[in-house]
Amino acid sequence: MQTLPCACSIAGSDSGGGAGIQADLRTFTAVGVWGTTVVTAITAQNTKGVLGVSMVPEEMVALQIRAVLDDFDIRAFKTGMLGTAGIIRTVAENLPSGIPLVVDPVMVATSGSRLLEERAEQELITTLLRRATVVTPNVPEAMVLSGLSQITNRDEMREAAVRIRDLGPEFVIIKGGHLGGDEAGDLLVGQGTELFLTGHRYPYPVHGSGCCFSAAIAAYFALGCAVPEAFRKTKVFIDAAIRDAVESVSGNRSVNPGGQGT
């Protein structure tokens, strides 16, 4: 009988398969952990945009968490699209303590569609960030969370990370994909820890890369990796997933974590 470490994604469903729950499950499988899910929203979307969103009732979100915890040895959680203040509270109230939590503060889709109510941003900060092991904002999200008016270089990334860490998470990883330059640099900041890793910058945007990144961090946590090690492994993993991105009919690309392992 085979057993695998388990991780759980709490996020929205992407009908195009390139982001959200679908990308997370592919990532979990590729890293080598059993993926479980708590669906918070059903979206009608593809690589071009979001056509519609239907939120899952809070009671069903709570019930999914209960069902997963009742039958699986969850060793890491990640959150993605949560959508509303009510769902954020529901997740926070039902997550057990002592299990690593990766918070991907999904606010706006790559296409520009808003995926988190503006009034829910403070709820995210006050109830979820403070219990996160790692929070993984991109540059626009880091600006919202830190209050900085711009993030254009490594020093400003560090300042934003320090401000966000003051909100409660143990570690902050700011993803620098939105910044210019020949390389894509990501910064990890924690108590007594700073690690800046660079990777190849590919000449195209990729749908779902943020979801894949945070899911990989959670998967490596489930395998027992410490935060710096999980960060290093994820940087290698996401580079391959972006390099091998899948092109849709529109010509846009989706992240492809399939087949990429440790």
Note the pLDDT of residue 10: 98
- Alpha carbons 105 and 82: distance in angstroms, whole number: 9
Q: Sort residue 112 into left (φ over 0), alpha (ψ -120 to 50) or beta.
A: left
Per CATH, domain 6-254 is 3.40.1190.20: yes
> With contact defined as beta carbons under 8 Å apart, do 69 and 98 qualify?
no
Q: How many residues does the chain have?
A: 262
With bands split at pLDDT 50, 70 and 90, how would you rate the model's confidence at 51? Answer: very high
- With bands split at pLDDT 50, 70 and 90, how would you rate the model's confidence at 227? very high
Given this model, what pLDDT does residue 261 score?
42
Tokens 């890491």, residue located: 76
In the prediction, which pLDDT does 262 show? 41
Lowest-confidence region among 33-47, 101-115, 127-141: 101-115
Q: How is 88-102 classified by DSSP, letter by letter?
A: HHHHHHHSPTTS-EE
Cα–Cα distance for residue pair 68/137, rounded to 1 Å: 26
* Beta pairing class for 74-79 and 101-103: parallel
Strand pairing class (253-254; 246-247): antiparallel
Tens of pLDDT, residues 159-181: 999 999 999 999 999 998 767 66
> What is this structure's pTM?
0.93
Residue 210 C-alpha from the chain's centroid:
6
Between 94 and 202, the more confident residue is 94
pLDDT tier, 112 (very low <50, low <70, confident <90, very high otherwise): low
Looking at residue 172, what is its pLDDT? 98
Domain residue ranges of the chain, discontinuous segments joined by +: 6-254
Q: What's the whole-number average pLDDT of the chain?
A: 91
Q: Which residue has the higher pLDDT, 201 or 217?
A: 217
Report pLDDT digits (tens) over 67-108. 999 999 999 999 999 989 999 999 999 999 999 999 999 876
Split at pLDDT 50, 70, 90, the class of 260 is: very low
Helix or strand run (H / E) with residue 168: none
DSSP-assigned beta bridge partners for residue 78: 9, 102
Instruction: Retrieve residue 202's tokens.
Output: 């590919």
Q: Which residues pair with 208 in a beta bridge?
A: none
